[in-house]
Chain A
Amino acid sequence: MRPTCPEIILRQEVLKDGFHRDLLIKVKFGEIMEDLQTCRLLIKHSIPAGLFVDPYELASLQEKNITEAEMVSENFNIEAPSYLSEESEVLIYARQDARCVDCFQAFLPVHYRYHRPHSEGAETLIVVRNPDLLMSCDRELPVLRSWAQSEAAAPCALRSKDICQWSSLKYRPIHKNVTLQVPVGLSIHTSLVCSVTLLVTILCSSLILVAVFKYGNFSL
């Protein structure tokens, strides 16, 4: 009987709270293999329009040796709301996890964009799908053939101009996808907010105007 292939398990977690979150991706290979040390793991992630990644932050994190990640998409606007933005693609070069043998992990700081106000519910959901796992090994690994489902071309290393052939791996994700909740404004407040804001600003400006005419020497 042909032995079944060891499974690759992927887990995506989102750390921290608020508008600035950290995406942590952990990949565990089902079987302990020494040859895995010669392999590199590349995570190709499609970040939804509701989130954005700051490429300058990535560059400074790379300098501090915390993570190796690069944005593929160009023409991004960091300040745009989600409905005026598109999905962006990020390449993260995963590292070997020191605490677990044959584990890789990757870390990516993400930020929320502002979302459209909602009529019910104070929160909108962002769905983060599971990424593509790409692997490239120095030596030919037989087990790689059972994991690989297709081939892809991608840069060999961060900021490298050389393109290598990577194998896209099939894996089992722990969660189907990760859901994030973004607080949004409530559109039922619109008429209240508009009327009160205009009222207060007109009142305040009238008070200042009265003071200017009363205490000042207005002359045309």
Chain B
Amino acid sequence: MSSSSHWGARFPSLLVRPAGVFAVAFLARVVLVFYGVLQDRTLHVRYTDIDYQVFTDAARFVTQGCSPYLRATYRYTPLLAWLLTPNVCLSELFGKFLFVSCDLLTAFLLYRLLLLKGLGQRQACGYCVFWLLNPLPMAVSSRGNADSVVASLVLMALYLIEKRLIACAAVFYGFAVHMKMYPVTYVLPIALHLLPERDDDQRRQSRLFLQARLYAFLKRLCSRAVLIFVAVAGFTFFALSLGFYVKYGWGFVEHTYLYHLTRRDIRHNFSPYFYMLYLTAESKWSFPLGIAAFLPQFILLLAVSFTYYRDLAFCCFLHTSIFVTFNKVCTSQYFLWYLCLLPLVMPLVRMSWKRAVVLLVLWFIGQALWLAPAYLLEFQGKNTFLFIWLASLVFLFINCSILIQIISHYKEEPPAKRIKYD
């Protein structure tokens, strides 16, 4: 089993009961929300994120019966504006408390998923502490970012898949994809995960030609569980999209989907492609370079799907980390998309405590190396574009090293423990 230096071995002795930890986490977040109110009123620099103001303004338009897209820079689903209408009627803090609740729901689902994997209560709680007492998700939810809503939807879908409630999982998955496009990459690993195990007949077929293998694979893909999942998720997504299109018109499609798919933000961000895209924004190479930037992401996602689909949480974690690391636009908000899956990954990654801390420190150093020239550019007006670009390449390298370390230290569960679906 785990060696004594394995990071998980240290946690249980540090903890009380799960209920206590959840209570402390909730209190910490509530304190931060009220601190945010204080800072907003007194200091010039606001604690609340500008996005929260955008959501509230859009919710105000919705209460007046108008489209939320009348608010410039509102690039989210109308559902979010609908959910936040109590911001206008009741109190402006409602949304923040909603996001804090989704945050805690995320942690609870992590806890249940870890219990399902066979961990003990205290051990599972130990891994959840990474999310519950982590200042990053605390700050993000209390500042008014909606990422915890998508995280809880994704985790609910994963949890329901493990509980074999495929249709329910598909509904939550459809909602998650509607809110943020990145979970759409999970469809291949989920489909592979839901497939029945190959029997001997099919294994013999792997010696046939590529075309025959592809045909056999596609035939396998039409299993009952996969078809239910794809049909229900697809139906949920298209029903939501059609409903909102009928209500709000083309503006809905443009702001909720197209903006994120075609987004070419040439302003500085963590992405290694930022400077390249800025310099070639008006040249004829812009489109081919965009495709060249998309290919590594695509190939890696395919390879990871076919390799790790047996452990869905690990596969989704790798998917999103690769997606964010190699994306054309990368801001610190995106990190939460894969950090919420890290507690599920940690039990099976057999890495020493020291190594994990070194990788974490490297990750922060990478961000600091980028933030320094970016600050000089944005707040002092110095031309540090080349340094920002170099720092983003270093950060890419650090992220890749971390991913390779996680992949090389991952020990899969033995096949006997896998759950069958058909």
B is bound to A: yes
Number of residue pairs A-B, CB distance < 8 angstroms:
142
Q: Identify A209's interface contact among B206, B300, B382, CB under 8 A.
A: B300
Q: Is the CB of A208 within 8 A of B300?
A: yes
Q: Identify A183's interface contact among B57, B280, B377, B389, CB under 8 A.
A: B377
Q: Which of A89-124 contact B (CB under 8 A)?
A: 114, 116-117, 122-123
Stretch touching chain B among A143-151, A154-162, A210-218: A210-218
Q: A81 in the interface, Cβ–Cβ < 8 Å? A: yes
Q: Is the CB of A123 within 8 A of B296?
A: no
Q: Which of B376-420 contact A (CB under 8 A)?
A: 377-386, 389, 393, 396-397, 400, 403-404, 407-408, 410, 412
Q: Is the CB of A212 within 8 A of B393?
A: no
Q: B272 in the interface, Cβ–Cβ < 8 Å? A: yes
**Given A196-B393, A208-B322: A18 and B303 interface contact (C-beta under 8 Å):** no
Cβ-closest chain B residue relative to A182: B381
Q: A34 in the interface, Cβ–Cβ < 8 Å? A: no
Q: Once bound together, how far apart are the Cα atoms of A79 and B292, in whole Å?
A: 25
Contacts of A174 in B (CB 8 A): none
Q: Is the CB of B266 within 8 A of A205?
A: no
Contacts of A56 in B (CB 8 A): 53, 57, 72
Q: Identify A201's interface contact among B272, B308, B385, B389, CB under 8 A.
A: B272
Q: Once bound together, how far apart are the Cα atoms of A220 and B412, in whole Å?
A: 18
Q: Which of A184-220 contact B (CB under 8 A)?
A: 184-187, 189-190, 193-194, 196-198, 200-202, 204-205, 207-209, 211-220
Q: A138 in the interface, Cβ–Cβ < 8 Å? A: no
Q: Shortest CB–CB separation between residue B230 and chain A, in angstroms?
A: 20
Q: A140 in the interface, Cβ–Cβ < 8 Å? A: no
Please indicate which of the listed interface residues B272, B279, B296, B385 has the most CB atoms of chain A within 10 Å of its own CB: B279
Q: Is the CB of A81 within 8 A of B381?
A: no
Q: Is the CB of A18 within 8 A of B377?
A: yes
Q: Is the CB of B303 within 8 A of A183?
A: no
Contacts of B303 in A (CB 8 A): 209, 212-213, 218
Cβ-closest chain B residue relative to A77: B72
Q: Identify A211's interface contact among B267, B279, B407, CB under 8 A.
A: B407
Contacts of A116 in B (CB 8 A): 282
Q: Is the CB of B408 within 8 A of A215?
A: yes
Q: B213 in the interface, Cβ–Cβ < 8 Å? A: yes
Q: B270 in the interface, Cβ–Cβ < 8 Å? A: no
**Given A185-B385, A209-B303, A216-B307: A200 and B403 interface contact (C-beta under 8 Å):** no
Q: B299 in the interface, Cβ–Cβ < 8 Å? A: yes
Contacts of A187 in B (CB 8 A): 279
**Given A56-B53, A200-B393, A208-B403: A181 and B381 interface contact (C-beta under 8 Å):** yes
**Given A183-B377, A217-B412: A208 and B400 interface contact (C-beta under 8 Å):** yes
Contacts of A20 in B (CB 8 A): 378-379
Q: Is the CB of A220 within 8 A of B217?
A: yes
Contacts of B266 in A (CB 8 A): 81, 114
Q: Is the CB of A204 within 8 A of B213?
A: no
Q: Once bound together, how far apart are the Cα atoms of A101 and B383, in whole Å?
A: 41
Contacts of A197 in B (CB 8 A): 272-273, 275-276, 389, 393
Q: B172 in the interface, Cβ–Cβ < 8 Å? A: no
Q: A78 in the interface, Cβ–Cβ < 8 Å? A: yes
Interface size class of A (residues with CB under 8 A): 35 or more
Contacts of A17 in B (CB 8 A): 379-381
Contacts of A79 in B (CB 8 A): 73, 265, 267
Q: B306 in the interface, Cβ–Cβ < 8 Å? A: yes
Q: Shortest CB–CB separation between residue A203 and chain B, in angstroms?
A: 9
**Given A202-B296, A216-B308: A193 and B275 interface contact (C-beta under 8 Å):** yes
Q: Shortest CB–CB separation between residue B252 and chain A, in angstroms?
A: 18
Q: Once bound together, how far apart are the Cα atoms of A182 and B412, in whole Å?
A: 53
Q: Once bound together, how far apart are the Cα atoms of A196 and B386, in whole Å?
A: 12
Q: Is the CB of B279 within 8 A of A220?
A: no
Q: B289 in the interface, Cβ–Cβ < 8 Å? A: yes
Q: Shortest CB–CB separation between residue B250 and chain A, in angstroms?
A: 16
Q: Is the CB of A216 within 8 A of B279?
A: no
Interface residues as binary, A131-144 with B (CB distance below 8 Å gives 1, 0 otherwise): 00000000000000
Cβ-closest chain B residue relative to A198: B292
Contacts of A186 in B (CB 8 A): 385-386
Q: Shortest CB–CB separation between residue B1 and chain A, in angstroms?
A: 20
Q: B326 in the interface, Cβ–Cβ < 8 Å? A: yes
Q: Once bound together, how far apart are the Cα atoms of A157 and B324, in whole Å?
A: 48
Contacts of B53 in A (CB 8 A): 56
Contacts of B389 in A (CB 8 A): 193, 197
Q: Shortest CB–CB separation between residue B318 and chain A, in angstroms?
A: 8
Q: Which of B281-296 contact A (CB under 8 A)?
A: 281-283, 285, 289, 292-293, 296
Cβ-closest chain A residue relative to B415: A217
Interface residues as binary, A52-70 with B (CB distance below 8 Å gives 1, 0 otherwise): 0001100000000000000
Cβ-closest chain B residue relative to A112: B381
B interface vs A, CB < 8 Å?
Answer: 53, 57, 72-73, 206, 213, 217, 265-267, 272-273, 275-276, 278-283, 285, 289, 292-293, 296-297, 299-300, 303-304, 306-308, 310, 322, 326, 377-386, 389, 393, 396-397, 400, 403-404, 407-408, 410, 412
User: 5 new A-B pairs (CB below 8 Å) besides A55-B72, A194-B289?
Assistant: A18-B379, A193-B275, A204-B400, A205-B300, A212-B303
Could you pull out 28 A-B pairs where Cβ atoms are within 8 angstroms?
A: A17-B379, A20-B378, A55-B72, A56-B57, A79-B265, A79-B267, A81-B266, A114-B278, A117-B278, A185-B279, A185-B385, A189-B275, A190-B280, A197-B273, A197-B275, A197-B393, A198-B292, A200-B396, A205-B400, A208-B403, A212-B304, A212-B407, A213-B303, A216-B407, A218-B306, A218-B307, A219-B307, A220-B217
